[in-house]
Every structure is written in structure tokens, then in C-alpha cells.
Amino acid sequence: MALNLSPERRAEVDRFMRGLIRRNPGEPEFHQAVREAAEYLIPFTHERPEYRHARILERLTEPDRAISFRVCWTDDAGNVRTNRGYRIQFNNAIGPYKGGLRFHKSVNASVLKFLGFEQILKNSLTTLPMGGGKGGANFNPKGKSDGEMMRFCQSFMTELHHYIGQTTDVPAGDIGVGTREIGYLYGQYMRLSGTFDGVLTGKGAAWGGSLVRTEATGYGLVYFMKEMLRTRGDGLRGKTCLVSGAGNVAQYTVEKLNGLGAKVVTLSDSSGFVYDKDGIDAEKLGWIMELKNERRGRIGEYAAKFGCEFHAGKRPWGVPADLAFPCATQNEIGRADAEALVANGVIGLAEGANMPTEPEAMDVLLKAKILYAPAKASNAGGVAVSGFERTQNSMFLSWPRAEVERRLQEVMKEIHRKCVRYGRQGDFVNYVRGANIAGFVKVADAMLALGVV
Ligand code: NDP
């Protein structure tokens, strides 16, 4: 909850949330994401009454459209299977809808609406012209063969292609959707549309992708932490770090932290976490990448291979460290986890995953006044480079690696500057306030200019 909210403003937020919950019943993740933002945005709209008059927040929390569709496919045993696909086109006031596709068994309208709503503010923060959207399917990729993945992706795209386009909606990857899946999706899109227009981002470098896209979210996350530390005259060198997850974001977070002289001692997946006191160096990370990206194995195998601790069914937040980077999934840090982090002396936490911190845990981190970056600021590097990929596709050229990295660093610095501008409270920077308000202002001004539509 936002700190220092007056009783009057809290009542106003509660009233707003009651209406939202009534209109969107049974969608707890969506309610959580909106409440987090509303606690900062509603008080802010009292400084800018034109936003209140135009009902910007009410309009911003209602998706432009929410599409759901059947996805039928046949598994290797010949059984016909049915899943549900979605695309939430949330807001395109500042550019075409942009946001990832998630394939996970937990996907439903609530999860995608929370992600789509956050994506509006995140995309706005990047300074690029991108609206917010999100999509996916309640499909579990675990244990699926290559052929099954391809047939599922082709069936999914056969329906989705009606709704996307270079100037309308440009999806990307997310949990369960990496380069392999983007390839199958894009292949089917090209077959159906007869165009090579780069409508998906996260493509391989040989077929329209941008260099550094794969690394971008993790690298951007570390750049953001570096900026936060700089405000306290500190740096990454020698810091002990906790990272959760072992997928795309986690892997490149570890790579960049190693590159900048920090030591990462944990990684996790849905089966538990590993604690490697000696640090997960470049060689061990290479092994993890092969395990997760090629063999699609479980994190416990790392402990067996390198002789370190494996904690089945647990999260890494009780391990003593200086910095924490949750990079797995939503709500992976509860109140007790946050209390353990603070008690162990953590000085900074930057969210790689979307909404990994539960509201009560967020309170603990804000009260402790550690350097705490919400996802919409700190993991925006991925979508920023997706935006660069779209730009390169439109121009039919490819920027060199150094050019993309330079632009990524600039974007992360700019996001940090904006968060400080709107989040400074005395000698403390509330990055949650800063990110929500800075992201909101640009979209709200565009919505005012575009009239009541
Ligand atoms: P991946 O699919 O590559 O990896 C996800 C990782 O999180 C896996 O290690 C997975 O373990 C773990 N995980 C997933 N669900 C759970 C769970 N319920 N409990 C514990 N662990 C879990 O996804 P990404 O790395 O791409 O995404 C991670 C997070 O970052 C997500 O929140 C995503 O929205 C966010 N993000 C990603 C971006 C990107 O560019 N990829 C951009 C911005 C945000 P297991 O294999 O066991 O399921």
C-alpha cells in the first residue's frame, strides 16, 4: 500500500477499487495491479484536475478490447486437445499495442489484464511510441515435444493473426514463449499474411530479430540497479546477489551481474532453489543455459552437478545478500520473505519478473527505505529493445550490437531519471510512485488530446 495516504484519499481509492472489482469479478491479479497504481495516481490527479474531469483512470483501467479464442491441436499420441488463447489490447493512445505472449497453465483473463495494464505504463516509461497489450494461452509447455509446440503455435496464430499488424498490435515473448515459439508463430503468420513485416518481436537475428533482444530484460534490470546504487554513491562490484527464476530474464541478469563484478549465489525454478556460495560464474551459467534452453531440465540438477545446496519447494529470499532480483513470476515475495530480506541487510531489490512482490511485502520494502524498483521501471529493457526491433524492421536494416546496447543503457537511465523526478520524497526516492506517475502522465496527456474515444 502507498505510504502516507490521507484517510480521505484512501476512501477515494477504496471507492474506485470497489467499482473496478464489481466490473471485473474474480480477477485478483488485475485488482492488485490496479490498486498499486491507483494509490499513487488518484492523489496525483488532485494536482491535475483535468485528468479527473476526463475520467482518465476509469478509461485507462478498461481494456480497449479483450479477445479470447479456442486453440485446438493434436498431441503426439493423436489426441485432440483444446486450450484458450487471449489477446488483451489495453490502450493504444501513444502507439500500437505492444506486449508479450505467455504460455503457462496459470494464464487466464485476470493474469493477462494485470500484465496488460502494467504494460501501458511500462511502455510509456521507455520513451518509445508503444501502447499496452498482453496475450497468451492456458497451455503448459512442460514436457511437450518440438512437434507439439509447433502445432500449438500454428493453431494459436491462425486465430491471432486476424487481430495483429505492424501498426496495430505487435506481440513479443514472455513466460513459455522464447525464440523457438516466436519462430513457429512468425512462420505461421507469414504463411497466412504473405508478408515479412516484423509483426512479432523476439525473432532470431537471422530472420528479422534485433541483437541484444534476448539479453535486454536482464541487462536492463542490472543497469537500473546500477543507477539506483549510484544515487547512494555505491556500485555493483563485490555485491552478493540473489536471483530467482532460471529462464530468460534470470540468465541474462546473472550474466550482466557477473560482468560488472557482482556475485550471484542463487537461482530457482518452480521445483525449488539452488544456493551456490562460491557464485554462479560464467562457466556454470553456460551449463544452466544448456540445461534450461536445450534440455529443458530442472534446477536441482545444478546442485547435483556442482555440489551445492538444493532447497526443494522453497524460494531464495532467506539467504543473506546485498541485492535481490526476483526474475521468476508474480507474487513470489510475500511479507515474511521481504522481512527476511530486510533483516539480512539487503540494500536493493529490482524486479525482473512482473509484480513479483505482494502488496504487504512492498510495504515492508518501502518502510525500510531500501532501493526498491518496481517491474514497470526496472524490467522495461526488454520491451524497449522490442521497440528497437520494430524500428529496425520498419527500416529494413539491423543495428550493430554496440548501438543497441548503447540505446538500451540510455533508455534505462532515462527511466531512472523520470522515476527520481516524480518519486523523490525528501532524501528518499519512492520508485513505485515515480514509475507509476511518470508512466501515467504521458498516456493521460495523449488521451486528453485524443478526446473521449
Ligand atoms: P521463462 O519462461 O524464460 O522463465 C520463467 C522462470 O520462472 C522459469 O525458471 C520458471 O520455472 C520460473 N517460474 C515460472 N512460474 C513459476 C512459479 N509459479 N513458481 C516458481 N517459479 C516459476 O520466462 P522469462 O524469464 O521470460 O520471464 C520471467 C518473468 O519476467 C515473468 O514475470 C515475465 O513476465 C517477466 N518479463 C519477461 C520479459 C522478457 O523479455 N522475457 C520482459 C519483461 C518481463 P519453471 O521452468 O519450473 O516453470
User: Has residue 427 been placed in a domain?
Assistant: no
Q: Are residues 321 and 273 in the same domain?
A: yes
User: Has residue 334 been placed in a domain?
Assistant: yes
Answer whether 249 contacts ligand 1 (Cβ < 6 A).
yes
Answer whether 425 contacts ligand 1 (Cβ < 6 A).
no
Q: Are residues 259 and 350 in the same domain?
A: yes
CA distance readout (Å), 382 to 157, 173, 285: 22, 10, 20
256 noted as active-site residue: no
Q: pLDDT tier at 196 (50, 70, 90 boundaries)? A: very high
Give the span between the Cα atoms of 212 and 43, in whole angstroms: 38
CATH number reported for the structural domain that contains residue 241 in this entry: 3.40.50.720
Q: What is the pLDDT of residues 146-182, one digit of tens each?
A: 999 999 999 999 999 999 999 999 999 999 999 999 9
Q: Are residues 267 and 121 in the same domain?
A: no
Q: What's residue 4's pLDDT?
A: 78
Q: What is the pLDDT of residues 96-121, one digit of tens each?
A: 999 999 999 999 999 999 999 999 99
Answer whether 254 contacts ligand 1 (Cβ < 6 A).
no
Residue with CA at minimum distance from ligand 1 atom 13: 328
Q: Are residues 339 and 272 in the same domain?
A: yes
Contacts of 234 (CB under 8 A, 6+ apart): 347
Question: Does 3 score more than 90 pLDDT?
Answer: no
Q: pLDDT tier at 317 (50, 70, 90 boundaries)? A: very high
Question: Does 1 score more than 60 pLDDT?
Answer: no
* Contact between residue 271 and residue 298 where contact means Cβ atoms under 8 Å apart: yes
Residue where a domain stops, chosen among 353, 373, 393: 373
Lookup result for grid cell 476526463: 54
User: Has residue 314 been placed in a domain?
Assistant: yes
Answer whether 374 contacts ligand 1 (Cβ < 6 A).
no
Q: Which H or E element spans position 32?
A: helix 28-45
Give the span between the Cα atoms of 384 and 126, in whole angstroms: 6
Q: pLDDT tier at 2 (50, 70, 90 boundaries)? A: low
Q: Look at the chain and report how many structural domains it folds into.
A: 2
Q: What's residue 254's pLDDT?
A: 98
Q: Are residues 168 and 83 in the same domain?
A: yes
Q: What's residue 360's pLDDT?
A: 97
User: Has residue 54 been placed in a domain?
Assistant: no
Residue with CA at minimum distance from ligand 1 atom 29: 353
Q: Are residues 220 and 287 in the same domain?
A: yes
Residue where a domain stops, chosen among 346, 373, 400: 373
Q: Are residues 84 and 162 in the same domain?
A: yes
Per-residue pLDDT averaged across 255-282, rounded? Answer: 98
User: Has residue 131 been placed in a domain?
Assistant: yes
Q: Are residues 227 and 341 in the same domain?
A: yes
The mean-pLDDT minimum among 2-6, 397-401, 403-407 falls in 2-6
CA of 331 to the centre of ligand 1 (A): 12
CA of 407 to the centre of ligand 1 (A): 25
Q: What is the pLDDT of residues 403-446, one digit of tens each?
A: 999 999 999 999 999 999 999 999 999 999 999 999 999 999 99
CATH number reported for the structural domain that contains residue 144 in this entry: 3.40.50.10860
State the DSSP string of 316-339: GGGS--SEEE--S-TT-B-HHHHH
User: Has residue 231 been placed in a domain?
Assistant: yes
Question: Does 297 score more than 60 pLDDT?
Answer: yes
User: Has residue 415 been placed in a domain?
Assistant: no
Question: Does 208 score more than 80 pLDDT?
Answer: yes
Catalytic residue among 134, 144, 203, 256: 134
Q: What is the pLDDT of residues 54-80, one digit of tens each?
A: 999 999 999 999 999 999 999 999 999
Give the span between the Cα atoms of 268 and 244, in whole angstroms: 5
Share of the chain above pLDDT 70, in %: 99
Residue with CA at minimum distance from ligand 1 atom 19: 270
CA of 18 to the centre of ligand 1 (A): 31
Q: Are residues 159 and 261 in the same domain?
A: no
Contacts of 178 (CB under 8 A, 6+ apart): 202, 248, 293
User: Has residue 301 been placed in a domain?
Assistant: yes
Q: What's residue 112's pLDDT?
A: 98
Q: Are residues 169 and 240 in the same domain?
A: no
Domain coverage including residue 138: 65-197
With CA atoms as reference, report the closest residue to 128 among 374, 389, 403, 435: 389
Residue where a domain stops, chosen among 348, 373, 398: 373
Question: Does 371 score more than 80 pLDDT?
Answer: yes
Answer whether 174 contacts ligand 1 (Cβ < 6 A).
yes
C-alpha grid cell, residue 443: 498516456
Q: Are residues 360 and 224 in the same domain?
A: yes
